[in-house]
Amino acid sequence: MSNPAVQNVSFTTFKLNGFHDLKEWRLLLSIPYVLMFVLSTIANSFLIFLIISQKALHSPMFVLISLMAVVDLFMPIFFVPNMILSFLFDWNLISLVGCLIQMFCVHYVGAFQSTLLLWMALDRLFAICKPLSYHKYMQIPNFMKFIIVPVIRNIMLVTVMVSLAGKLKFCMTNEIDHCFCEHMAVVQLACGDISINNLVGLLAAFLIPTVDVVFITISYVIIFASVIKSGKSHAKAMNTCVTHIIVITGTLTFALMAFLAYRTKNYFSPNSRIFISTMYALFPSCFNPIIYGLRTKEIREQFLNFFNHAKVSLQ
């Protein structure tokens, strides 16, 4: 029988033991994560700088792309440095408060990935289907009605999810089988009833990325129907749509895999689940700015102009 005294103890410090069974191989595993972190930091920082510094990119579409770059810049910062320190020096301890803060930051910023993709889809919808009224729709006072509801939704759901996790008693173990404080990885350590936590997590997954994807899909169906019906080219705007669809597909594929890995019976090993979760947060951050840079003509041209001016200045 379990000791009642032990059951009343709730851990306030946790060990993040992601990939722990790889032992000395964790040192080698740190190399690709460091490279991806550096790539993400440099690529997103430069994309933000380019959009801010080049007046030709001061339009609503590029403002949204820069906001996506901000999200992609901060997402890895919340967990990759700690993960690298754990791999290199076994510095894997985190307090309950620190764990909850990390959980909030990761899930809150992650929630805005799909929300920003929704705003980008609306931007393309107005540009292609309502070109004469585009600037009216994209003025801040008008566009705010499309912004305020998702922002409030994201804040409320993530805050409730993290607050409920903070009220749990963690008396089973203090070892989190993950590289960061992912919601379900932490909640599963609780010794009480976690059905409410699981329900809120499901609601957050349904009301944020799922709802966003539904509206994104509707937006692009309307866009493609409008283009086919009008018979006009819209090649430039459609090229941007294809870029967004590539980013959406990559982001949501990893998000879906990460969600299913923890909530359904599957054949994923613990290491596979952790890898998928880290890639969900890190992979889009690395490659979104590259995809936008390569496929968006205006960004590509401004990059070449900036590079040429920099080369002339150094000569």
Q: Pairing relation of β-strands 175-176 and 93-95?
A: unpaired
pLDDT tens digits for the chain (315 residues)? 444 444 556 788 999 988 887 777 888 888 999 999 999 999 999 999 999 998 888 888 899 999 999 999 999 999 999 999 988 888 889 999 999 999 999 999 988 888 998 998 898 888 888 888 888 888 888 888 888 999 999 999 999 999 999 999 988 788 888 888 988 889 988 888 899 999 998 898 889 988 998 999 899 889 888 887 876 655 666 667 777 788 777 777 777 777 666 666 656 677 888 888 888 888 889 988 888 887 788 888 888 888 887 777 766
Q: Residue 133 and residue 276: Cα distance in Å, rounded? A: 42
DSSP 3-state of 12:
coil
What is the per-residue pLDDT for 97?
A: 93
Q: Quote the pLDDT of residue 235.
A: 61
Q: Whose CA is closest to 106, among 204, 17, 20?
A: 204
What are the tokens at 92? 């894997």
Task: Check: CB of residue 154 under 8 Å from CB of residue 183.
Answer: no
Alpha helices (H) in the chain, listed in sequence order:
4-7, 25-53, 60-77, 80-89, 96-129, 134-138, 140-166, 183-187, 195-205, 211-230, 235-263, 270-295, 297-314
pLDDT computed for residue 37 by the predictor = 95
Placement of tokens 């283009």 in the chain: 227
- Rounded to whole angstroms, the Cα distance separating 195 from 187 reads 10
Kindly report the pTM of this predicted structure: 0.87
**Could you give the 3-state DSSP secondary structure of residue 79?**
coil
Q: Write down the pLDDT at residue 31.
A: 92
Burial class (CB in 10 A: 0-12, 13-18, 19+), 200: buried
pLDDT digits (tens, 9 = 90+) for 82-92: 999 988 888 88
Amino acid making up residue 43: A
The dihedral built from the CA positions of residue 209, 211, 216 and 221, taken in this order, carries a sign that is positive
| 13 touches 93 (CB < 8 A) | yes
3-state class of 93 per DSSP? strand
Cα(126)–Cα(138) distance, integer angstroms: 8
What pLDDT sits at residue 303?
Answer: 86
- Which CATH code for domain 9-314? 1.20.1070.10
Contact criterion met (CB below 8 Å) for 159 and 183: no
